[in-house]
Amino acid sequence: MSTTGVRHNPMAPPLAPLSPQAEVALLARMLHREGYDDHLAGHITSRQPDGTLLVNPWGLTWDEVCASDIMRIDLDGNVLEGLWTVTPAIPLHLELHKARHDVSVAVHNHSRWGTIWADLHRVPPVYDQTSAMVPGDPVLYDDFGGSVDSVENARACVEALGDGRMALLANHGVLVVGADIAQAHHRSVVLEWRCRQAWHVEAVGGGVPVREEVFTRFAAPFDHVSFPGLFEAMARRELRADPSILD
């Protein structure tokens, strides 16, 4: 996915060209609206062609981040560009990007509904179509070792994720990876939806999960293409609310 050309979606108006920094800021804004909103917690990294990482700053909530706030660091965590401070929990991302060269974008937060299932040490069942839009179950890492600002704890989380797409970090939060911004957004949205819907279904007495073979067949295409137009539609919504995101 190009970050310099116009994003073209024939079903709706295209987005104007977005800088890589604007993409990260928009992802933070969109996911905050979805429930990735634990105050100052959470970090997003986006690997760039030169091997550096763009990262949201520590100290700004995800619903206030603008493109000019985005920091640039190297794989050792050294700040190369930016006005602010990088989270001390960045080792999680550094270890992940070193281990997973297929991952361009990584998202970690203590999302509202995902963290409930992480606290339960349970993987939520798939009860509906939207919950089935990412293949496979999130990995459950059930050994809480404390904050991921420790390299040892960060490596343990990365090893538990393996080649997975998403993880529930027990008594902590969620970790989602993607090949690009749109895929990371799609997977993050679906994980939080799945966790929320499963909580509601079980709260009223339980439901009937989607059959495994149906889930597998339905989800397979979404490993190669995110839900068409989803990123663009949600980005337009954020830009209508606050055009200064691109500043």
**Res 4 pLDDT > 60:** no
In a domain, 13, yes or no: no
In a domain, 247, yes or no: no
In a domain, 138, yes or no: yes
In a domain, 8, yes or no: no
In a domain, 203, yes or no: yes
**Res 1 pLDDT > 70:** no
In a domain, 106, yes or no: yes
- What is the number of structural domains in the chain? 1
pLDDT at 12: 77
In a domain, 71, yes or no: yes
pLDDT single digits (tens) 62-71: 999 999 999 9
pLDDT at 226: 82
**Burial of 90 by CB count in 10 Å (0-12 exposed, 13-18 middle, 19+ buried)?**
buried
**Res 45 pLDDT > 70:** yes
> How many Cβ atoms are within 10 Å of 244's Cβ, its own excluded?
12
Residue ranges making up the domain that contains 174 = 20-242
What CATH number should be reported for the domain holding residue 51? 3.40.225.10
What is the pTM (predicted TM-score) of this model? Answer: 0.93
> How many Cβ atoms are within 10 Å of 44's Cβ, its own excluded?
28
Following DSSP, what letter does each residue of 54-72 receive, concatenated? EEPPBTS-TTT--GGG-EE
pLDDT at 148: 66
pLDDT at 96: 96
Interval 106-131 mean pLDDT? 97
